[in-house]
Amino acid sequence: MSHGFNTRAIHAGQEPDAATGAVTPPIFQTSTFVQDGIGALRQGYEYARSGNPTRDALQTQLAALEGATRALAFSSGLAAEDALLRSVLRPGDHVVLGNDVYGGTHRLISKILGPWGVEVTDVEMSDLDAVRAAIRPGVTKVLWVETPSNPLMKITDIGALAEVGRSAGVTVVVDNTFASPYLQQPLALGADVVVHSMTKYLGGHSDVLGGAIVTSDEELAEKVAFLQFAAGAVLAPFEAWLTTRGIKTLGVRMDRHSSNARAVAEHFVGHPDVERVYYAGLDTHPGHELATRQMRDFGGMLSVALRGGGEAARRFAESTELFLLAESLGGVESLIGYPSEMTHASVRGTPLEIASNVVRLSVGLEDPADLIADLEQALPRR
């Protein structure tokens, strides 16, 4: 019988240690494993780049949460993306990328894979005709989707894009970092592969950098596993253990991230200093209806555009106390970011530029009244 999400988060891959009964599986902080004779390996373990029980425990746990057969953990989200892309792409191949995906993903494909002969086209993923038109039959190998997107929380239809990808023989990848598997299940909606920056909600405590590839396509998983081993950007045992520990509370954290973010979003609706709130949980958001179908809840990320313009937004981002001014997201503590000069500085002056009056909030798990009071005191004096 298959268990519910939170039961899997706590038990999948987390059997008590066979030797001692330790309820929490230990950290196997070792680089190598003794052999009982040449090539006689204990449970297949040989050298930690090819496999480590702590990494395996995390991989089993994560696969169970995404409803997949395989998960592979890497030293960062981008290291995971790199291994996936180099597993499926060859010189001359083409990638169709959402026009608002994580900037590092765009940089990886255009600046690193580009010189090796991979081409990329950015498209508006909510326009299915534009996606179909961007696909070059036989040449496009990957369709890369990120929803909700950063920082305007645009929602794209994973099921519809999976259909487009399938009929064109293209591998459909969903970066599920913002939603986490608790809020959104891309593989069940038809996607082929899920990518995570585990640095964010999966780790959940801003103390670990990691990434993962999750899929039920065994052939693809074998290729990515080979690159994990042969190129070596593996997740270290301690980081794997911290991530496993974080994941056990993912469900309760995402529920609270979502209710706190909703409280902040609703506070700013109609606020005299705020021009617009970007949060899919508001029924005025263009993606609200789709998000309601596709997600369990709307998550902990939102953005607000201030009426006072760029100067007011900058000052606001520098004036909060509980909301720490920092890159990243998804931790227990609230963070504030100024996209036009932080996450999206590299796209200034392009069509992908983010308006200078937008600030992004990663709403943490503090008491919502304190968070709202902190944001209020940071607003420019009227």
Ligand X SMILES: *Cc1c(COP(=O)(O)O)cnc(C)c1O
Catalytic residues: 49, 102, 175, 200
| Residue 330 Cβ vs ligand X, minimum distance, rounded to whole Å | 8
| Residue 255 Cβ vs ligand X, minimum distance, rounded to whole Å | 20
Contact 237, 54 (CB under 8 A): yes
| Residue 181 Cβ vs ligand X, minimum distance, rounded to whole Å | 14
- Candidates 4-12, 22-30, 97-105, 317-325; binding stretch for ligand X (CB under 6 A): 97-105
Residue among 104, 308, 310, 380 that touches ligand X (CB under 6 A) = 104
Site for ligand X in 137-176 (CB under 6 A): 146, 175
List alpha helices for 90-157, DSSP H.
103-107, 128-134
Q: Is 77 in the site for ligand X (CB under 6 A)?
A: yes
Nearest to 363 by CA among 255, 244, 270: 255
Size of the residue set binding ligand X (CB under 6 A): 15
Q: Is 71 in the site for ligand X (CB under 6 A)?
A: no
| Residue 369 Cβ vs ligand X, minimum distance, rounded to whole Å | 28
Which C-beta is closer to ligand X: that of 67 or that of 104? 104
| Residue 178 Cβ vs ligand X, minimum distance, rounded to whole Å | 6
- Candidates 3-11, 72-80, 159-167, 352-360; binding stretch for ligand X (CB under 6 A): 72-80
Q: Count CA atoms closer than 13 A to 313's CA, side-chain side.
A: 25
Which C-beta is closer to ligand X: that of 68 or that of 83? 83
Measure Cα distances from 186 to 7, 128, 177, 292 in Å.
20, 17, 11, 14
Site for ligand X in 187-246 (CB under 6 A): 197, 199-200, 209, 211
Which C-beta is closer to ligand X: that of 168 or that of 363? 363
Sequence-ordered list of residues with C-beta below 8 angstroms from that of 198, at least 6 positions apart, any chain: 73, 77, 208, 210, 211, 212, 235, 243
| Residue 324 Cβ vs ligand X, minimum distance, rounded to whole Å | 16
| C-beta neighbour count of 24 within 10 angstroms | 12
Which C-beta is closer to ligand X: that of 108 or that of 378? 108
Q: What is the DSSP letter of 366?
A: S
Residue burial 208-245, b: 16+ Cβ < 10 Å; e: rest: bbbbbbbbbbeebbebbbebbeeeebbbbbebbbbbbb
Task: Calculate the CA 108 to chain-centre distance.
Answer: 16
Task: Calculate the CA 135 to chain-centre distance.
Answer: 24
Which C-beta is closer to ligand X: that of 197 or that of 206? 197
**What does the alpha-carbon distance between residue 193 and residue 3 come to, in Å, rounded to a whole number?**
22
Which C-beta is closer to ligand X: that of 61 or that of 177? 177
Residue among 27, 71, 78, 363 that touches ligand X (CB under 6 A) = 78
Q: Which residues bind ligand X (CB under 6 A)?
A: 76-78, 102, 104-105, 146, 175, 177-178, 197, 199-200, 209, 211
